[in-house]
Amino acid sequence: MPDINRILDAVDCELDRSLERLFALLRIASISTDPLHAGECRRAAEWIAADLTDLGFEASVRETGGHPAVIGKHLDGSRHRVLFYGHYDVQPVDPLSLWETAPFEPRITTGRTGTQHIVARGASDDKGQIMTFIEACRAYKIATGTLPIGVTMLIEGEEEMGSKHLPAFVEAHRDELAADVALVCDTGMWDRATPAITLSLRGLVYEEVRVRCADRDLHSGLFGGAARNPIHVLSAILAALHDETGRITLPGFYDGVAELPADVRDEYARLNLTPEGFLGQVGLKVPAGERDRLLIEQISTRPTCDVNGIWGGYAGEGTKTVIPAEASAKVSFRLVGAQDPAKVRDAFHAFVRARIPEDCRVEFISHKGSPAVSVPFDHPKLECARAALADEWGKPAVRIGSGGSIPIIGDFKRVLGLDSLMIGFALEDDRVHSPNEKYDLTSFHKGIRSWVRILHALAQ
C-alpha cells in the first residue's frame, strides 16, 4: 500500500485546480424538473464523462429515457469494488430575486464567522459533493498512478425529480454496476466538526391534487354565496391533514412506523438538538411536528406531510373579484420504517375524495414514490469507513438517520443487493434547495481528503 500522506499532499496541492473544475460544473444550469433546461442537463453529463475519461476512467454518457446518466469504470481487476452514486441535476432557483449573486455564477464568499463558502445552485446538492469523490480519485492517480480498489461511478440527472428513469436503467445495467458496497455522497455532517454516516433515509410520496368546481371562473359578486369555491374545498382538506398535536390524520398512515430502540433514542437525546440551534438558523423557534417527539426524531425518524405548493385564482397585482374554477396543491409525505408508499398514496386519495362536494371533481398527478431504507448497524464496511473519517476529522462519525429521500438507494438494495454507506460533507446551513445555496470550502477540501482515507481503508 502507498503512504496515505503522499496522496493527502496531492489533494492539498491540487485544491485550486479542483475548485476550478467544480466551478466549471456549477456554471451549467442543469435544472432537471424544468423541460427548458434539458440541454443544460445533457451538457453537465457530457462534462462529467469527459472529466472521468481524463482521469483514466472508461466513461460515457448513457441514455435513460429522460435526462442522461454517466457511467465511469476504473477497475484494473481489483478484488474490491465500490459503486459511487451522485447526481448532477439541481433544483429550480426561484425565487430568483432572493439570490445575492447569480445562481449559476459560482463564487467564493466569506461568511459571518469567517468561514469561506462556495456559493451557487448545486454547490452542496450535489455537484460539490460529487467532486469531493472525483478529486479524491484524481489525487490517488496523481500520487500513485492508479486507484487502490475498483471504482464504478453512476452519476444521474433526475434525482431532484424523483429519479424517474433510474430504476429501469440500474436494472438494465446490473452487471456493469456490480460492486461490494455503494458509496453515496448526498448527505451531510452532524455539525461543522463532526462527520456522520447516514444509515437511514425517509421515503417519499409526492402527489399533485387539483380540485375543480364550476366549469369556468365566476364573478364573486354574482355567484358569491352560492357557488362552491375550490380554494375553500382545498384549504379545508389540507387543514384536516394534521391534528392539533401535529399528528397526520390519514387513516393507517403510521402503519409500519417503528419506535426507536431505547439506546438509540438515548444517544439522540444526548446529541441534544435544540430548537434554538436547529430552527433558529432559519428564523423559527417552535418545532411544528408531533408534540411528543424529540426534535431530531421529527426531522429524521418520524414521517411527515408538507404542502410544497398551492395555487388557484388571481395572484396578480391588485384585486380581482373571482371565484376560480379550480385550485391545486402539491403535497408530499416523508416515510420511515416499513410505511408502504402505495398504501399512503391510496389513503391520501381516499382522504381527499371523501371531502369533495358532490358537484365538484378532483384529479391527481402521482409522482414517483419510494420506501424508506436503512443499513444494518453491523455492516462489514461501516467500521472501517468510520475509522477513516475519525482520522481526518479527529472525532468519531455519528450514525444518524436522514430526513431526506434518495429514491435510488432502495433500488441499489433491491436490484444490485448493495447496501449504501451515505457519507457527505454538507452542513445544515447550506441553504440546499433555497436561494444562495453554499458549500463550505472546508467541506470540499476535507471531503476530498476523507474520501482518500476511505478508499485507502476499503482497500485493506
Query: Does residue 288 touch a second copy according to CB under 8 A?
Result: yes
Point out which span in 4-12, 258-266, 304-312, 346-354 binds a second copy (CB under 8 A).
304-312
Exposed, middle or buried by CB within 10 Å (0-12, 13-18, 19+), for 325? Answer: middle
Residue nearer to a second copy on the CB measure, 149 or 356: 356
Helix (H, G, I), strand (E, B) or coil at 58: strand
Query: Does residue 346 touch a second copy according to CB under 8 A?
Result: no
- Rounded Cα distance, 131 and 358, in Å: 54
What Å distances lie between residue 407 and 8, 85, 128, CA to CA? 33, 12, 20
Residue nearer to a second copy on the CB measure, 254 or 384: 254
Query: Does residue 403 touch a second copy according to CB under 8 A?
Result: yes
Residue nearer to a second copy on the CB measure, 112 or 216: 216
Minimum separation from the CB atom of position 231 to a second copy (A): 4
Q: Using CB under 8 A, pick the residue from 61, 82, 123, 161 that binds a second copy.
A: 161
Q: H or E element: which one contains 390? A: helix 382-393
Residue nearer to a second copy on the CB measure, 50 or 240: 240
Q: Using CB under 8 A, pick the residue from 11, 120, 181, 295 that binds a second copy.
A: 295
Residue nearer to a second copy on the CB measure, 142 or 214: 214
Name the nearest CA neighbour of 196 among 304, 273, 277. Answer: 273
Query: Does residue 370 touch a second copy according to CB under 8 A?
Result: no
Query: Does residue 332 touch a second copy according to CB under 8 A?
Result: yes
Minimum separation from the CB atom of position 306 to a second copy (A): 5
Query: Does residue 359 touch a second copy according to CB under 8 A?
Result: yes
Q: Please, what's the b/e burial string for 350-386 (b: 16 or more CB within 10 A of its CB; e: otherwise)?
A: ebbeeebeeebebeeeeebbbbbbbbeeeeebbebbb
Look at the block and give the residue holding cell 454547490: 123
- Rounded Cα distance, 44 and 28, in Å: 6
Minimum separation from the CB atom of position 179 to a second copy (A): 26
What Å distances lie between residue 91 and 249, 290, 410, 416, CA to CA? 30, 28, 22, 28
Query: Does residue 236 touch a second copy according to CB under 8 A?
Result: yes
Query: Does residue 317 touch a second copy according to CB under 8 A?
Result: yes
Question: Which residues 22-41 are close enough to bind a second copy by CB under 8 A?
Answer: 32-35
User: What x/- string results for residues 94 through 123 when contact with a second copy is judged by CB under 8 A?
Assistant: xx--x-------------------------
Minimum separation from the CB atom of position 186 to a second copy (A): 10
Residue nearer to a second copy on the CB measure, 77 or 221: 221
Minimum separation from the CB atom of position 372 to a second copy (A): 12
Report whether 450 contacts 139 (CB < 8 A): no
- Rounded Cα distance, 295 and 286, in Å: 10
Residue nearer to a second copy on the CB measure, 15 or 360: 360
Query: Does residue 284 touch a second copy according to CB under 8 A?
Result: yes
Query: Does residue 227 touch a second copy according to CB under 8 A?
Result: yes
Beta-carbon contacts of residue 293 (< 8 Å; ≥ 6 apart): 302
Report whether 42 contacts 50 (CB < 8 A): no
Minimum separation from the CB atom of position 367 to a second copy (A): 5
Residue nearer to a second copy on the CB measure, 256 or 313: 313
Query: Does residue 316 touch a second copy according to CB under 8 A?
Result: yes
Beta-carbon contacts of residue 145 (< 8 Å; ≥ 6 apart): none
Residue nearer to a second copy on the CB measure, 94 or 383: 94
242 conformational bin, left if phi > 0, alpha if psi -120 to 50, beta if neither: beta
Q: H or E element: which one contains 204? A: strand 203-212
Report whether 197 contacts 389 (CB < 8 A): yes
Minimum separation from the CB atom of position 256 to a second copy (A): 17
